[in-house]
Amino acid sequence: MKNEAMIDACLACFAACEMCATQCIKLLSEDHLRCIALCRDCAEICALCVKLEERESEYSHHAMRLCADMCSACAEECEKFATHHSHCHECARACRECAEECMAY
């Protein structure tokens, strides 16, 4: 049985991470390099979780545990910039929600 709440959270997180990484790249600041890297990694694992869940992979739960860890790390990094950049604030929020859904799986 597919976990629609997790799929929705992963898709929202994927979009927020892609947007955040793109906006941070435009800042041309070395301070945001880790944020960019984590956002890109987080977006990829979120997409993978959706794919595995949609194909009912027996390994979905393994990917979701990793996704929860990566989302938490990305949220923590984005929160460092959240007061100055709305894209970082939104990304951190989406990452926290995704981590919660993946941990509940």
pLDDT in tens, the chain (105 residues): 578 999 999 999 999 999 999 999 999 999 999 999 999 999 999 999 999 999 999 999 999 999 999 999 999 999 999 999 999 999 999 999 999 999 997
pLDDT of residue 84: 96
pLDDT of residue 22: 98
The CB density around residue 89, as the number of other CB atoms within 10 Å, is 17
pLDDT of residue 1: 57
pLDDT of residue 2: 73
* Domains observed in the chain: 4-104 (1.20.1270.360)
Residue 58's φ and ψ, nearest 5 degrees, are -70, -10
Sign of the Cα pseudo-torsion (71, 10, 88, 37, in order)? positive
pLDDT of residue 105: 78
pLDDT of residue 62: 96
d(CA 61, CA 38): 21
Question: Two tokens at 1?
Answer: 């049985």
